[in-house]
């Protein structure tokens, strides 16, 4: 794993891993992404209620993702200069308002405004939470990002489950019940914000004890090339994942004639597999290196994605789990790789790549929605099967890593 720009000595001065902080950050990420996941989980209900087509469904996702993506790099840039750990609470307040509004939305316009508020809340949350996860890692970046992101993935996976057993039976207004999750997240964020000051003092004391710390600056061309390639890899991953988040339930209903609750449970299985994959990918990246993990996770799903459009219902479920496990392992390594390119801009890179994750997902959802209306949802999955070929771009990724953590004595 690539070291921090200031390398800590191997003895008592080694930085501490704050596992309690990482676990609570993961839990707040779970609550944040649980609320986000209720948006696509409720699509089948609002599609019927408001007589929406797939383009309008895609535009809801686009509105949410754009609202979340545009603000995140700005927040990251500002907090790099002046850390604002309590800003996460403000972000969750936006999310709370958006969720309550979505529960009682009476028109398509109000739905768009509501999801935009939820997107803004996530935009404020992610950059500062990413910084704190890195600070609390004690140098175990893959573990830290794995724990943090597994919370988000777990929260995202719960949305379809709550949709199947709560929102479908009780209707759109039951979304307002989940404002309790936002309130709990705000309480947890007060604690993590307080811990942030303690961790910063600990790191500052360790850095002050070092002499002759090595610089980790990279040539500008290396940084630009790396960020461009990582962005393209991110798009291929996000576009395929978004085909499941926004349209998997419709695919299962159309192809296999399953019920809405059954389709939501299948989406839940896909998202749970993602949660497992992101944690495994983060830990494995510490041991075998980010470069190898990116190769495996982006190109590796290709044989299975090619088989998926031809599978029956049982094998669709099996292939879905395999694809999700592999492809989800990419994000932690892509994010850490990007941070190591510009280690002094953790907030900016965290905001940029979470923002890209949001924005690219919104663009992909809009494109896939338009394609689904034109050529059919099953044909969309056939086309998406080739997206993992973009993993070949990993060949051109600058090699910046030192020996992986697992190889160090």
If one compares 318 and 362, the residue with the highest pLDDT of the two is 318
124-135 burial: b if 16+ Cβ within 10 Å, else e: bbbbbbbbbbbb
* Mean pLDDT, the chain, whole residue set: 82
Q: Predicted confidence band at 196 (pLDDT cuts at 50, 70, 90)?
A: confident
* Least confident range of 54-68, 170-184, 207-221, 377-391: 207-221
Q: Is the pTM of this model over 0.75?
A: no
Whole-angstrom Cα distance, residue 73 to residue 351? 4
pLDDT of residue 345: 78
If one compares 159 and 316, the residue with the highest pLDDT of the two is 316
Decide: residue 180, CB within 10 A, 0-12 exposed, 13-18 middle, 19+ buried. Answer: exposed
CATH architecture of the region 19-204+217-402: Up-down Bundle (1.20)
DSSP letters, 300-331, are: TTHHHHHHGGG--HHHHHHHHHHHHHHHHTHH
* Least confident range of 27-36, 168-177, 199-208: 199-208
Residue 353 φ/ψ, nearest 5 degrees: -80, -35
Cβ–Cβ < 8 Å for 271, 160: yes
* Domain residue ranges in the chain: 19-204+217-402
The number of helix segments (H) and strand segments (E) in the chain equals: 16, 0
Q: Predicted confidence band at 8 (pLDDT cuts at 50, 70, 90)?
A: very low
Whole-angstrom Cα distance, residue 119 to residue 125? 10
pLDDT of residue 402: 45
Residue 84 reports pLDDT greater than 70 = yes
pLDDT of residue 18: 84
Residue 248 reports pLDDT greater than 80 = yes
Average pLDDT over residues 11-39: 83
Cβ–Cβ < 8 Å for 226, 338: yes
Cβ–Cβ < 8 Å for 30, 154: yes
* Least confident range of 76-80, 182-186, 311-315: 76-80
- What HEC string does 169-226 produce? HHCHHHHHHHHHHHHHHHHHHHHHHHHHHHHHHHHHHHHHCCCCCCCCCCCHHHHHHH
Could you identify the residue written with the tokens 């509004």? 101
pLDDT of residue 180: 93
Residue 10 reports pLDDT greater than 80 = no
pLDDT cut 70: percent of the chain above it: 89
pLDDT of residue 307: 95
379-390 burial: b if 16+ Cβ within 10 Å, else e: ebbeebbebbeb
Residue 72 reports pLDDT greater than 90 = no
Reported as a single tens digit per residue, the pLDDT across 129-152 is: 888 888 888 777 878 888 888 888
Nearest to residue 37, comparing CAs of 273, 245, 276? 245
pLDDT of residue 1: 39
Could you identify the residue written with the tokens 């949350």? 125
Residue 406 reports pLDDT greater than 50 = no
Cβ–Cβ < 8 Å for 36, 157: no
pLDDT of residue 358: 66
Average pLDDT over residues 218-223: 83
Q: Count Cβ atoms below 10 Å from residue 400 Cβ, excluding itself.
A: 16
Q: Predicted confidence band at 110 (pLDDT cuts at 50, 70, 90)?
A: very high
DSSP 17: P
pLDDT of residue 157: 75
Reported as a single tens digit per residue, the pLDDT across 326-382 is: 998 877 788 888 888 888 777 778 777 777 776 677 778 778 888 888 898 888 889
Average pLDDT over residues 234-241: 86
Cβ–Cβ < 8 Å for 237, 330: yes
Handedness of CA 37, 41, 46, 49 (dihedral sign): negative
């Amino acid at each position: 794993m690539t070291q921090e720009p200031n390398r800590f000595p191997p003895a008592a001065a080694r930085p501490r891993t704050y596992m309690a902080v990482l676990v609570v950050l993961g839990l707040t990420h779970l609550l944040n992404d649980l609320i986000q996941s209720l948006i696509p989980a409720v699509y089948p209900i609002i599609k019927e209620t408001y007589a929406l087509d797939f383009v309008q469904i895609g535009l809801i996702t686009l509105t949410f993702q754009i609202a979340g993506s545009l603000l995140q790099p700005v927040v990251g840039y500002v907090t790099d200069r002046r850390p604002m750990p309590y800003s996460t609470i403000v972000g969750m307040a936006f999310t709370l308002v958006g969720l309550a509004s979505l529960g009682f939305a009476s028109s398509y316009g109000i739905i768009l405004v509501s999801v935009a508020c939820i997107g803004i809340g996530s935009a404020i949350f992610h950059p500062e939470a990413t910084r704190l996860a890195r600070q609390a890692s004690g140098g175990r970046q893959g573990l830290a990002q794995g724990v943090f992101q597994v919370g988000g993935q777990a929260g995202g996976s719960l949305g379809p489950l709550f949709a199947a057993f709560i929102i479908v039976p009780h209707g759109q207004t039951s979304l307002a019940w989940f404002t309790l999750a936002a309130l709990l997240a705000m309480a947890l964020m007060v604690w993590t914000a307080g811990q942030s000051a303690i961790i910063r003092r600990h790191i500052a004391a360790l850095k002050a004890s070092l002499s002759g710390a090595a610089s980790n600056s990279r040539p500008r061309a290396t940084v630009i090339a790396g960020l461009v390639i990582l962005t393209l890899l991110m798009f291929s991953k996000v576009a395929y994942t978004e085909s499941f988040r926004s349209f998997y339930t419709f695919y299962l209903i159309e192809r296999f004639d399953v019920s809405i609750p059954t389709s939501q449970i299948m989406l839940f299985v896909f998202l749970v597999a993602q949660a497992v994959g992101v944690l495994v990918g983060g830990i494995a990246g510490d041991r075998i290196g980010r470069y190898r993990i990116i190769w495996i996770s982006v190109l590796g799903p290709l044989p299975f994605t090619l088989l998926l459009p031809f599978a029956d219902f049982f094998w669709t479920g099996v292939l879905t789990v395999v694809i999700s496990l592999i492809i989800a392992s990419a994000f932690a390594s892509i994010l850490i790789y990007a941070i190591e390119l510009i280690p002094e801009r953790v907030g900016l890179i965290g905001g940029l790549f979470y923002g890209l994750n949001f924005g690219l997902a919104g663009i992909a959802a809009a494109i896939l929605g338009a394609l689904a209306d034109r050529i059919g949802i099953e044909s969309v999955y056939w086309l998406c099967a080739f997206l993992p070929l973009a993993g070949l771009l990993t060949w051109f990724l600058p090699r910046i890593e030192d020996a992986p953590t697992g190889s160090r004595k």
